[in-house]
Structure 1
């Protein structure tokens, strides 16, 4: 496997990695178009790098390589930073597939979850996802993709969610506008 070049190039050049990223991890590295024309309010560059099955898009913000903020825009008009770089965003997507649901569950509980509770919550959400999608070996797929992309070892479930919260704090600096100039809601 090629460990040189950008992470995005490695993902796109390895057919098996692209296949795993797309399913089961819902990050299709073949970017097409977002559901509508969008731009950053700051005027900074916005590079489409992937899609999910629900019509959402992933973008690198600003100029430079892989390690610039990754913004996710859903198809319903919400957007936010999901990683301070592509490595972090992919680790989140691969290591905590149901991270958004987990953060919502924790917020509704009105308290922080400890490491064990966070791991159990994510395991439960991923088991449900695996069953709904007919996945046979999510852990094996995860390990293979992490190896192919050179992303390991993955941080703990709690650390991944903490990184997601930290990245989302950057969102006010990365306001996404639709073609009429209206801002997307925060994720």
Structure 2
């Protein structure tokens, strides 16, 4: 009988801990469109206000127009392989923006890629202001409500497990 209670408590504890652990999210992997010209953007993840390099290959005899909702339209002139663009300062951290490359040369076509805005400092400042004192360490950027809720769930689970498994005095003596 005791083994059943211990197993139940262990299962309850494991379930609660599994539910309080952060879940991993996986991006869907899809097929990319194939174009007659190559293109890339680097870096693929950038902070708001940062500068990205737009690269194209195989569109040598015409201009390449690059458009996105996160930076001004940019043209890579005929014969050049790259250009730079400044990401808007008000780009939403964590958002993914679509970037479209359109070749107007002998290999005309259009294709898209994604640019992710990094989650950075919440004040949006671009210059270093020195050491930021405060919580820091492993707690920096964590939400105290989430920590409190997680702690309450874990403590509740452990308390329930203890209650269910402890040997009660006088249980079989009456």
TM-score range, shorter chain: under 0.3
What's the TM-score, normalizing by structure 1? 0.20
Q: Which has the larger share of helix?
A: 1
Q: Which has the larger share of strand?
A: 2
What's the TM-score, normalizing by structure 2? 0.21
